[in-house]
A and B are shown apart, each in its own frame.
Chain A
Amino acid sequence: MGFIQESIRTSFSLIFSLDWEVFSAVWTSVGVAAGSIILAALFGIPLGLAIAIGDFPLKRVVITLLNTLMAMPTVVIGLVVYGIISRQGPLGGFGLLFTPMAMVIGQTVLAIPIVANYTLSSVKGADPRILPTALTLGASPLQSVIQLVHEIRFGIMAAIIAGFGRVISEVGVAMMLGGNIRGYTRTMTTAIALETSKGEFAFGLALGIILMIVALIINLLLNFMQQR
Protein backbone atom coordinates (compact mmCIF):
# COMPACT_ATOMS: atom_id res chain seq x y z
CA MET A 1 0.00 0.00 0.00
CA GLY A 2 2.92 2.25 0.79
CA PHE A 3 4.04 2.60 -2.81
CA ILE A 4 0.54 3.58 -3.92
CA GLN A 5 0.44 6.38 -1.35
CA GLU A 6 3.94 7.29 -2.45
CA SER A 7 2.78 7.34 -6.10
CA ILE A 8 -0.14 9.61 -5.28
CA ARG A 9 2.16 11.93 -3.36
CA THR A 10 4.61 11.89 -6.28
CA SER A 11 1.87 12.64 -8.79
CA PHE A 12 0.69 15.71 -6.90
CA SER A 13 4.25 16.84 -6.37
CA LEU A 14 4.87 16.48 -10.13
CA ILE A 15 1.72 18.44 -10.92
CA PHE A 16 2.36 21.26 -8.46
CA SER A 17 6.07 21.51 -9.22
CA LEU A 18 5.10 22.01 -12.90
CA ASP A 19 7.51 19.25 -13.93
CA TRP A 20 8.56 19.95 -17.54
CA GLU A 21 8.59 16.32 -18.61
CA VAL A 22 5.13 15.68 -17.25
CA PHE A 23 3.63 18.79 -18.75
CA SER A 24 5.30 18.13 -22.09
CA ALA A 25 3.68 14.68 -22.17
CA VAL A 26 0.32 16.12 -21.09
CA TRP A 27 0.54 18.84 -23.74
CA THR A 28 1.46 16.36 -26.49
CA SER A 29 -1.32 13.98 -25.42
CA VAL A 30 -4.00 16.67 -25.32
CA GLY A 31 -2.81 18.39 -28.50
CA VAL A 32 -2.63 15.21 -30.56
CA ALA A 33 -5.94 13.91 -29.18
CA ALA A 34 -7.67 17.25 -29.84
CA GLY A 35 -6.34 17.40 -33.41
CA SER A 36 -7.38 13.78 -34.00
CA ILE A 37 -10.87 14.20 -32.61
CA ILE A 38 -11.50 17.33 -34.67
CA LEU A 39 -10.50 15.47 -37.83
CA ALA A 40 -12.40 12.35 -36.76
CA ALA A 41 -15.52 14.47 -36.17
CA LEU A 42 -15.18 16.10 -39.59
CA PHE A 43 -15.09 12.67 -41.27
CA GLY A 44 -16.95 10.49 -38.77
CA ILE A 45 -20.11 12.56 -38.24
CA PRO A 46 -20.97 12.89 -41.97
CA LEU A 47 -20.05 9.21 -42.45
CA GLY A 48 -22.37 8.13 -39.63
CA LEU A 49 -25.16 10.36 -40.96
CA ALA A 50 -24.73 9.07 -44.51
CA ILE A 51 -24.85 5.44 -43.41
CA ALA A 52 -27.84 6.03 -41.13
CA ILE A 53 -29.92 8.07 -43.58
CA GLY A 54 -28.77 6.59 -46.87
CA ASP A 55 -30.47 3.69 -48.54
CA PHE A 56 -27.86 1.73 -50.44
CA PRO A 57 -26.95 -1.87 -51.20
CA LEU A 58 -24.78 -3.68 -48.63
CA LYS A 59 -25.77 -1.22 -45.90
CA ARG A 60 -25.73 -3.99 -43.30
CA VAL A 61 -22.27 -5.08 -44.43
CA VAL A 62 -21.00 -1.52 -44.08
CA ILE A 63 -22.46 -1.27 -40.55
CA THR A 64 -20.86 -4.61 -39.60
CA LEU A 65 -17.56 -3.38 -41.01
CA LEU A 66 -17.84 -0.18 -38.99
CA ASN A 67 -18.52 -2.19 -35.83
CA THR A 68 -15.49 -4.35 -36.56
CA LEU A 69 -13.30 -1.30 -37.07
CA MET A 70 -14.34 -0.07 -33.63
CA ALA A 71 -12.73 -3.13 -32.13
CA MET A 72 -9.56 -2.80 -34.20
CA PRO A 73 -6.45 -3.04 -31.99
CA THR A 74 -4.49 0.19 -31.89
CA VAL A 75 -1.27 -1.60 -32.82
CA VAL A 76 -2.89 -2.86 -36.02
CA ILE A 77 -3.90 0.70 -36.95
CA GLY A 78 -0.39 1.79 -36.03
CA LEU A 79 1.05 -0.94 -38.23
CA VAL A 80 -1.12 -0.06 -41.25
CA VAL A 81 -0.46 3.68 -40.99
CA TYR A 82 3.24 2.92 -40.38
CA GLY A 83 3.31 0.99 -43.66
CA ILE A 84 1.77 3.96 -45.48
CA ILE A 85 3.90 6.77 -44.04
CA SER A 86 7.22 4.97 -43.51
CA ARG A 87 10.00 5.76 -45.97
CA GLN A 88 9.11 2.80 -48.23
CA GLY A 89 5.40 3.54 -48.04
CA PRO A 90 3.30 5.51 -50.56
CA LEU A 91 3.41 8.67 -48.37
CA GLY A 92 7.02 8.13 -47.26
CA GLY A 93 8.21 11.26 -49.01
CA PHE A 94 6.40 13.52 -46.56
CA GLY A 95 8.63 12.44 -43.66
CA LEU A 96 5.70 12.06 -41.30
CA LEU A 97 6.86 9.04 -39.32
CA PHE A 98 7.72 9.73 -35.66
CA THR A 99 6.08 13.17 -35.73
CA PRO A 100 2.97 14.40 -33.88
CA MET A 101 1.26 14.57 -37.31
CA ALA A 102 1.75 10.81 -37.75
CA MET A 103 0.11 10.28 -34.36
CA VAL A 104 -2.78 12.55 -35.36
CA ILE A 105 -3.30 10.51 -38.55
CA GLY A 106 -3.26 7.21 -36.66
CA GLN A 107 -5.55 8.40 -33.90
CA THR A 108 -7.94 9.94 -36.44
CA VAL A 109 -8.19 6.53 -38.13
CA LEU A 110 -8.82 5.03 -34.70
CA ALA A 111 -11.54 7.54 -33.76
CA ILE A 112 -13.48 7.77 -37.05
CA PRO A 113 -15.33 4.43 -36.61
CA ILE A 114 -16.19 5.35 -33.01
CA VAL A 115 -17.56 8.78 -33.92
CA ALA A 116 -19.37 7.37 -36.97
CA ASN A 117 -20.90 4.51 -35.00
CA TYR A 118 -22.13 6.74 -32.17
CA THR A 119 -23.57 9.17 -34.74
CA LEU A 120 -25.26 6.25 -36.53
CA SER A 121 -26.78 5.07 -33.25
CA SER A 122 -27.95 8.61 -32.43
CA VAL A 123 -29.73 8.90 -35.78
CA LYS A 124 -31.30 5.46 -35.32
CA GLY A 125 -32.52 6.47 -31.89
CA ALA A 126 -33.75 9.86 -33.04
CA ASP A 127 -37.39 10.61 -33.71
CA PRO A 128 -38.16 9.38 -37.25
CA ARG A 129 -40.37 12.42 -37.84
CA ILE A 130 -37.49 14.92 -37.77
CA LEU A 131 -36.41 14.64 -41.42
CA PRO A 132 -39.90 14.44 -42.98
CA THR A 133 -40.99 17.40 -40.83
CA ALA A 134 -38.06 19.53 -41.96
CA LEU A 135 -38.57 18.50 -45.60
CA THR A 136 -42.28 19.21 -45.60
CA LEU A 137 -41.62 22.65 -44.14
CA GLY A 138 -39.60 23.38 -47.25
CA ALA A 139 -36.08 22.79 -45.97
CA SER A 140 -33.59 21.44 -48.50
CA PRO A 141 -32.13 17.96 -47.82
CA LEU A 142 -28.96 19.62 -46.45
CA GLN A 143 -30.94 21.99 -44.21
CA SER A 144 -32.99 19.01 -43.01
CA VAL A 145 -29.85 17.04 -42.10
CA ILE A 146 -28.45 20.09 -40.28
CA GLN A 147 -31.71 20.24 -38.31
CA LEU A 148 -31.38 16.53 -37.57
CA VAL A 149 -27.85 17.10 -36.25
CA HIS A 150 -29.20 19.91 -34.07
CA GLU A 151 -31.85 17.58 -32.68
CA ILE A 152 -29.34 14.81 -31.91
CA ARG A 153 -26.57 17.14 -30.72
CA PHE A 154 -26.31 15.33 -27.37
CA GLY A 155 -25.66 12.06 -29.17
CA ILE A 156 -23.09 13.75 -31.40
CA MET A 157 -21.38 15.21 -28.34
CA ALA A 158 -21.34 11.73 -26.79
CA ALA A 159 -19.69 10.48 -29.99
CA ILE A 160 -16.98 13.10 -29.65
CA ILE A 161 -16.48 12.37 -25.94
CA ALA A 162 -16.21 8.63 -26.62
CA GLY A 163 -13.76 9.20 -29.46
CA PHE A 164 -11.68 11.57 -27.36
CA GLY A 165 -11.61 9.09 -24.48
CA ARG A 166 -10.36 6.41 -26.84
CA VAL A 167 -7.57 8.44 -28.44
CA ILE A 168 -6.22 10.07 -25.30
CA SER A 169 -5.97 6.72 -23.55
CA GLU A 170 -4.49 4.67 -26.39
CA VAL A 171 -0.84 3.70 -26.49
CA GLY A 172 -0.30 1.54 -29.62
CA VAL A 173 -0.66 4.23 -32.27
CA ALA A 174 1.25 6.83 -30.24
CA MET A 175 4.12 4.41 -29.64
CA MET A 176 4.38 3.04 -33.18
CA LEU A 177 3.85 6.26 -35.12
CA GLY A 178 5.24 8.77 -32.64
CA GLY A 179 8.25 6.77 -31.51
CA ASN A 180 7.98 8.06 -27.90
CA ILE A 181 10.53 10.84 -28.45
CA ARG A 182 11.08 12.79 -25.24
CA GLY A 183 9.66 16.30 -25.39
CA TYR A 184 8.33 15.76 -28.93
CA THR A 185 6.08 12.75 -29.38
CA ARG A 186 6.04 11.38 -25.85
CA THR A 187 2.48 11.25 -24.61
CA MET A 188 1.21 10.40 -21.14
CA THR A 189 0.43 6.82 -22.15
CA THR A 190 3.76 6.16 -23.86
CA ALA A 191 5.54 7.77 -20.90
CA ILE A 192 3.64 5.48 -18.50
CA ALA A 193 4.65 2.42 -20.56
CA LEU A 194 8.29 3.55 -20.65
CA GLU A 195 8.60 4.55 -16.99
CA THR A 196 6.94 1.34 -15.78
CA SER A 197 9.26 -0.78 -17.94
CA LYS A 198 12.17 1.12 -16.37
CA GLY A 199 10.88 0.19 -12.90
CA GLU A 200 9.73 3.74 -12.17
CA PHE A 201 6.33 2.55 -11.04
CA ALA A 202 5.58 5.60 -8.91
CA PHE A 203 6.29 7.93 -11.81
CA GLY A 204 4.15 5.79 -14.13
CA LEU A 205 1.29 5.74 -11.67
CA ALA A 206 1.61 9.47 -11.16
CA LEU A 207 1.25 9.98 -14.89
CA GLY A 208 -1.74 7.63 -14.84
CA ILE A 209 -3.41 9.78 -12.21
CA ILE A 210 -2.68 12.91 -14.22
CA LEU A 211 -4.13 11.22 -17.32
CA MET A 212 -7.32 10.46 -15.41
CA ILE A 213 -7.52 14.06 -14.14
CA VAL A 214 -7.00 15.46 -17.66
CA ALA A 215 -9.64 13.09 -19.07
CA LEU A 216 -12.03 14.11 -16.27
CA ILE A 217 -11.50 17.84 -16.88
CA ILE A 218 -12.05 17.48 -20.63
CA ASN A 219 -15.15 15.35 -20.13
CA LEU A 220 -16.53 17.86 -17.63
CA LEU A 221 -15.87 20.62 -20.14
CA LEU A 222 -17.62 18.72 -22.94
CA ASN A 223 -20.52 17.86 -20.64
CA PHE A 224 -20.83 21.50 -19.68
CA MET A 225 -20.98 22.43 -23.37
CA GLN A 226 -23.56 19.69 -23.91
CA GLN A 227 -25.84 21.08 -21.22
CA ARG A 228 -25.72 24.65 -22.54
Chain B
Amino acid sequence: MAAQFNLTSIQKRYGNKIALELEELTLWPGHLYILTGPNGSGKSTLLNILALLTKPEQGEMAFTGERVTWKNRELNLMRKKVTLLHQSPYLFAGTVSANVAFGLKARGLSGEELQRTVAESLELVGLKGFEERNVRQLSGGEARRVALARAVALKPEMLLLDEPLANMDQESAQVVEQLIASLPDRGTTVVMSTHDPRLNERLEGDVIQLMGGRLASENGRYPAYSSGDQNPGTLKTMLMADALVMLEG
Protein backbone atom coordinates (compact mmCIF):
# COMPACT_ATOMS: atom_id res chain seq x y z
CA MET B 1 0.00 0.00 0.00
CA ALA B 2 1.34 3.41 -1.00
CA ALA B 3 1.74 5.94 1.76
CA GLN B 4 -0.68 8.85 1.70
CA PHE B 5 2.24 11.21 2.08
CA ASN B 6 5.93 10.66 2.26
CA LEU B 7 8.23 13.54 3.14
CA THR B 8 11.98 13.18 2.87
CA SER B 9 14.65 15.69 3.98
CA ILE B 10 12.13 18.53 4.09
CA GLN B 11 13.31 21.95 5.15
CA LYS B 12 11.33 25.17 5.33
CA ARG B 13 12.83 28.45 6.41
CA TYR B 14 11.33 31.83 7.16
CA GLY B 15 14.24 34.22 6.73
CA ASN B 16 17.13 32.75 8.68
CA LYS B 17 14.90 30.72 10.98
CA ILE B 18 14.31 27.07 10.22
CA ALA B 19 10.59 26.54 10.68
CA LEU B 20 10.58 22.87 9.81
CA GLU B 21 13.26 20.25 9.26
CA LEU B 22 12.13 16.67 8.77
CA GLU B 23 14.38 13.80 7.80
CA GLU B 24 11.45 11.58 7.00
CA LEU B 25 7.76 11.47 7.72
CA THR B 26 5.32 8.90 6.40
CA LEU B 27 1.56 9.19 6.75
CA TRP B 28 -0.61 6.19 5.98
CA PRO B 29 -4.10 6.24 4.49
CA GLY B 30 -7.10 5.89 6.78
CA HIS B 31 -5.21 6.99 9.89
CA LEU B 32 -5.91 9.79 12.29
CA TYR B 33 -2.76 11.66 13.21
CA ILE B 34 -2.59 14.07 16.08
CA LEU B 35 0.04 16.73 15.63
CA THR B 36 1.30 18.19 18.87
CA GLY B 37 4.02 20.55 19.95
CA PRO B 38 4.45 23.96 21.50
CA ASN B 39 3.79 27.20 19.65
CA GLY B 40 6.37 27.74 16.91
CA SER B 41 7.25 24.05 16.72
CA GLY B 42 6.31 23.92 13.04
CA LYS B 43 2.81 22.41 13.22
CA SER B 44 1.15 24.98 10.98
CA THR B 45 4.11 24.97 8.59
CA LEU B 46 3.86 21.19 8.27
CA LEU B 47 0.10 21.40 7.67
CA ASN B 48 0.62 24.06 5.00
CA ILE B 49 3.27 21.93 3.30
CA LEU B 50 1.00 18.87 3.40
CA ALA B 51 -1.81 21.02 1.98
CA LEU B 52 0.55 21.88 -0.89
CA LEU B 53 0.17 25.56 -0.13
CA THR B 54 3.74 26.10 1.06
CA LYS B 55 6.67 24.80 -0.92
CA PRO B 56 9.62 23.67 1.17
CA GLU B 57 13.05 24.95 0.16
CA GLN B 58 14.50 21.47 0.26
CA GLY B 59 13.35 17.90 0.19
CA GLU B 60 11.13 15.50 -1.67
CA MET B 61 7.45 14.83 -1.23
CA ALA B 62 5.34 12.02 -2.58
CA PHE B 63 1.56 11.95 -2.47
CA THR B 64 0.03 8.46 -2.83
CA GLY B 65 3.29 7.38 -4.37
CA GLU B 66 3.44 10.23 -6.88
CA ARG B 67 6.27 12.72 -6.59
CA VAL B 68 5.14 16.28 -5.92
CA THR B 69 6.81 18.47 -8.55
CA TRP B 70 5.04 21.73 -7.58
CA LYS B 71 3.95 22.31 -11.14
CA ASN B 72 0.65 24.16 -11.41
CA ARG B 73 -1.35 21.55 -13.27
CA GLU B 74 -0.25 18.75 -11.00
CA LEU B 75 -0.80 20.86 -7.90
CA ASN B 76 -4.38 21.63 -8.97
CA LEU B 77 -5.13 17.92 -9.23
CA MET B 78 -3.44 17.02 -5.93
CA ARG B 79 -5.04 19.92 -4.04
CA LYS B 80 -8.42 18.50 -4.97
CA LYS B 81 -7.53 15.49 -2.81
CA VAL B 82 -6.10 17.36 0.19
CA THR B 83 -7.97 20.02 2.15
CA LEU B 84 -6.73 22.19 4.96
CA LEU B 85 -8.99 23.74 7.55
CA HIS B 86 -7.19 26.73 9.04
CA GLN B 87 -7.26 27.47 12.75
CA SER B 88 -9.43 30.48 12.16
CA PRO B 89 -11.08 29.57 8.88
CA TYR B 90 -12.22 32.18 6.39
CA LEU B 91 -15.77 32.06 5.13
CA PHE B 92 -16.45 33.74 1.81
CA ALA B 93 -19.00 36.56 1.83
CA GLY B 94 -22.47 35.23 1.15
CA THR B 95 -24.59 32.35 2.35
CA VAL B 96 -23.63 29.19 4.20
CA SER B 97 -24.77 27.19 1.19
CA ALA B 98 -22.52 29.15 -1.22
CA ASN B 99 -19.55 28.47 1.05
CA VAL B 100 -20.12 24.74 1.30
CA ALA B 101 -20.75 24.59 -2.44
CA PHE B 102 -17.53 26.43 -3.34
CA GLY B 103 -15.14 23.48 -3.53
CA LEU B 104 -17.84 21.22 -4.98
CA LYS B 105 -18.41 23.67 -7.84
CA ALA B 106 -14.65 23.75 -8.44
CA ARG B 107 -14.95 19.99 -8.95
CA GLY B 108 -17.74 20.43 -11.48
CA LEU B 109 -20.71 19.48 -9.29
CA SER B 110 -24.00 21.22 -9.98
CA GLY B 111 -27.77 20.96 -9.69
CA GLU B 112 -29.46 18.54 -7.34
CA GLU B 113 -26.30 16.61 -6.53
CA LEU B 114 -24.65 19.80 -5.38
CA GLN B 115 -27.59 20.80 -3.20
CA ARG B 116 -27.87 17.33 -1.73
CA THR B 117 -24.15 17.21 -0.85
CA VAL B 118 -24.35 20.67 0.74
CA ALA B 119 -27.37 19.63 2.85
CA GLU B 120 -25.73 16.35 3.90
CA SER B 121 -22.51 18.07 4.89
CA LEU B 122 -24.34 20.65 6.97
CA GLU B 123 -26.27 17.89 8.67
CA LEU B 124 -22.98 16.17 9.55
CA VAL B 125 -21.87 19.24 11.51
CA GLY B 126 -25.30 19.74 13.10
CA LEU B 127 -26.26 22.76 11.02
CA LYS B 128 -29.20 21.38 9.09
CA GLY B 129 -31.36 24.17 7.70
CA PHE B 130 -28.57 26.78 7.82
CA GLU B 131 -28.23 26.89 4.00
CA GLU B 132 -29.59 30.37 3.41
CA ARG B 133 -28.04 32.03 6.46
CA ASN B 134 -25.55 34.79 5.81
CA VAL B 135 -22.13 33.75 7.14
CA ARG B 136 -21.65 37.13 8.83
CA GLN B 137 -24.59 36.33 11.12
CA LEU B 138 -23.10 33.07 12.44
CA SER B 139 -21.54 32.62 15.86
CA GLY B 140 -17.85 31.70 16.03
CA GLY B 141 -18.60 28.03 16.66
CA GLU B 142 -21.17 27.86 13.86
CA ALA B 143 -18.78 29.52 11.44
CA ARG B 144 -16.11 26.93 12.18
CA ARG B 145 -18.60 24.13 11.74
CA VAL B 146 -19.58 25.59 8.35
CA ALA B 147 -15.90 25.63 7.41
CA LEU B 148 -15.60 21.99 8.48
CA ALA B 149 -18.74 21.10 6.49
CA ARG B 150 -17.20 22.88 3.48
CA ALA B 151 -14.07 20.73 3.81
CA VAL B 152 -15.85 17.44 4.58
CA ALA B 153 -18.25 17.95 1.64
CA LEU B 154 -15.30 17.44 -0.70
CA LYS B 155 -14.63 13.96 0.71
CA PRO B 156 -10.89 14.61 0.52
CA GLU B 157 -8.40 11.78 0.71
CA MET B 158 -6.64 13.80 3.36
CA LEU B 159 -8.06 16.38 5.72
CA LEU B 160 -5.68 18.65 7.60
CA LEU B 161 -7.08 20.42 10.63
CA ASP B 162 -5.24 23.23 12.37
CA GLU B 163 -6.47 23.38 15.97
CA PRO B 164 -10.07 22.64 14.99
CA LEU B 165 -11.34 22.60 18.57
CA ALA B 166 -9.52 25.65 19.94
CA ASN B 167 -11.81 28.27 21.51
CA MET B 168 -14.89 26.34 20.46
CA ASP B 169 -18.05 26.15 22.54
CA GLN B 170 -18.79 22.76 24.11
CA GLU B 171 -21.69 21.87 21.82
CA SER B 172 -19.72 22.66 18.67
CA ALA B 173 -16.61 20.89 20.02
CA GLN B 174 -18.57 17.69 20.66
CA VAL B 175 -20.08 17.65 17.17
CA VAL B 176 -16.74 18.39 15.53
CA GLU B 177 -14.84 15.82 17.60
CA GLN B 178 -17.33 13.07 16.76
CA LEU B 179 -17.18 13.93 13.08
CA ILE B 180 -13.37 13.96 13.06
CA ALA B 181 -13.26 10.58 14.81
CA SER B 182 -15.51 9.11 12.12
CA LEU B 183 -13.55 10.42 9.13
CA PRO B 184 -10.86 7.68 8.88
CA ASP B 185 -13.65 5.10 8.58
CA ARG B 186 -15.04 7.13 5.69
CA GLY B 187 -11.68 6.83 3.93
CA THR B 188 -10.20 10.18 4.89
CA THR B 189 -6.76 10.42 6.43
CA VAL B 190 -6.81 13.08 9.12
CA VAL B 191 -3.93 15.13 10.47
CA MET B 192 -5.04 17.39 13.27
CA SER B 193 -2.92 19.78 15.27
CA THR B 194 -3.87 20.42 18.87
CA HIS B 195 -2.62 21.74 22.18
CA ASP B 196 -5.06 19.56 24.10
CA PRO B 197 -3.15 16.57 25.55
CA ARG B 198 -6.40 14.74 26.41
CA LEU B 199 -7.62 14.75 22.84
CA ASN B 200 -5.47 11.79 21.87
CA GLU B 201 -6.91 9.73 24.71
CA ARG B 202 -10.37 10.34 23.32
CA LEU B 203 -9.60 9.99 19.62
CA GLU B 204 -6.87 7.34 19.88
CA GLY B 205 -4.89 8.74 17.01
CA ASP B 206 -1.24 8.40 16.15
CA VAL B 207 0.77 11.18 17.72
CA ILE B 208 3.28 13.21 15.75
CA GLN B 209 5.14 15.51 18.05
CA LEU B 210 7.15 18.41 16.75
CA MET B 211 9.74 20.30 18.70
CA GLY B 212 11.66 23.25 17.30
CA GLY B 213 10.61 22.32 13.77
CA ARG B 214 11.83 18.74 14.14
CA LEU B 215 10.10 15.47 14.60
CA ALA B 216 10.17 14.28 18.22
CA SER B 217 8.60 11.47 20.20
CA GLU B 218 6.02 11.72 22.94
CA ASN B 219 6.51 9.70 26.12
CA GLY B 220 8.76 7.33 24.24
CA ARG B 221 5.99 6.51 21.78
CA TYR B 222 6.80 6.57 18.10
CA PRO B 223 3.59 7.29 16.25
CA ALA B 224 4.25 5.84 12.80
CA TYR B 225 5.80 2.74 14.38
CA SER B 226 2.90 2.18 16.75
CA SER B 227 0.39 2.64 13.95
CA GLY B 228 1.83 -0.30 12.06
CA ASP B 229 4.51 1.45 10.06
CA GLN B 230 7.29 -1.06 9.77
CA ASN B 231 9.47 1.27 7.77
CA PRO B 232 12.79 1.13 9.59
CA GLY B 233 13.87 4.40 7.94
CA THR B 234 11.01 6.26 9.56
CA LEU B 235 11.75 4.81 12.97
CA LYS B 236 15.44 5.55 12.59
CA THR B 237 14.68 9.15 11.73
CA MET B 238 12.44 9.51 14.73
CA LEU B 239 15.04 8.07 17.04
CA MET B 240 17.59 10.45 15.62
CA ALA B 241 15.19 13.36 16.05
CA ASP B 242 14.56 12.24 19.60
CA ALA B 243 18.27 12.12 20.29
CA LEU B 244 18.71 15.57 18.83
CA VAL B 245 15.94 16.96 20.99
CA MET B 246 17.50 15.37 24.05
CA LEU B 247 20.91 16.74 23.13
CA GLU B 248 19.45 20.20 22.65
CA GLY B 249 17.58 19.86 25.94
Contacts and interface: CB of A to CB of B under 8 A. Distances in A.
Given A136-B84, A137-B154, A140-B76, A130 B90 contact: yes
Nearest to B151: A137
A73 interface: no
A136 B159 CA distance: 10
Contact of B72 (A136, A137, A139, A141): A141
A132 interface: yes
B103 A138 contact: yes
A200 interface: no
Interface in A132-154: 132-141, 143, 147, 150-151
B53 interface: yes
Given A129-B86, A132-B53, A132-B86, A138 B93 contact: no
A226 B106 CA distance: 26
Contacts of B82: 136
Contacts, number: 53
A63 B99 CA distance: 33
Interface residues of A, number: 17
Contacts of B89: 129, 133
Contacts of A135: 53, 79
Contact of A138 (B48, B86, B107): B107
Interface string B167-191: 0000000000000000000000000
B86 A139 contact: no
A127 interface: yes
Interface string B11-24: 00000000000000
B169 to A, nearest CB: 22
B83 interface: yes
Contacts of A136: 51, 53, 79, 82-84
Interface residues of B, number: 23
B92 A151 contact: yes
Nearest to A137: B103
A54 B127 CA distance: 38
Of listed B51, B89, B92, B150, residue having the most chain A CB within 10 A: B92
Contacts of A129: 86, 88-90
Interface in B25-84: 48, 51, 53, 72, 76, 79-80, 82-84
B31 to A, nearest CB: 20
A139 B102 contact: yes
A49 B243 CA distance: 47
A137 B102 contact: yes
Interface of A: 127, 129-130, 132-141, 143, 147, 150-151
26 contacts: A129-B88, A129-B89, A129-B90, A130-B90, A130-B92, A132-B86, A133-B89, A135-B79, A136-B53, A136-B79, A136-B82, A137-B103, A137-B106, A138-B76, A138-B79, A138-B83, A138-B103, A138-B106, A138-B107, A138-B154, A139-B103, A140-B106, A141-B72, A143-B106, A147-B92, A147-B102
Closest 8 CB pairs of A and B: A137-B103, A129-B90, A138-B80, A136-B84, A139-B106, A133-B90, A138-B106, A138-B103
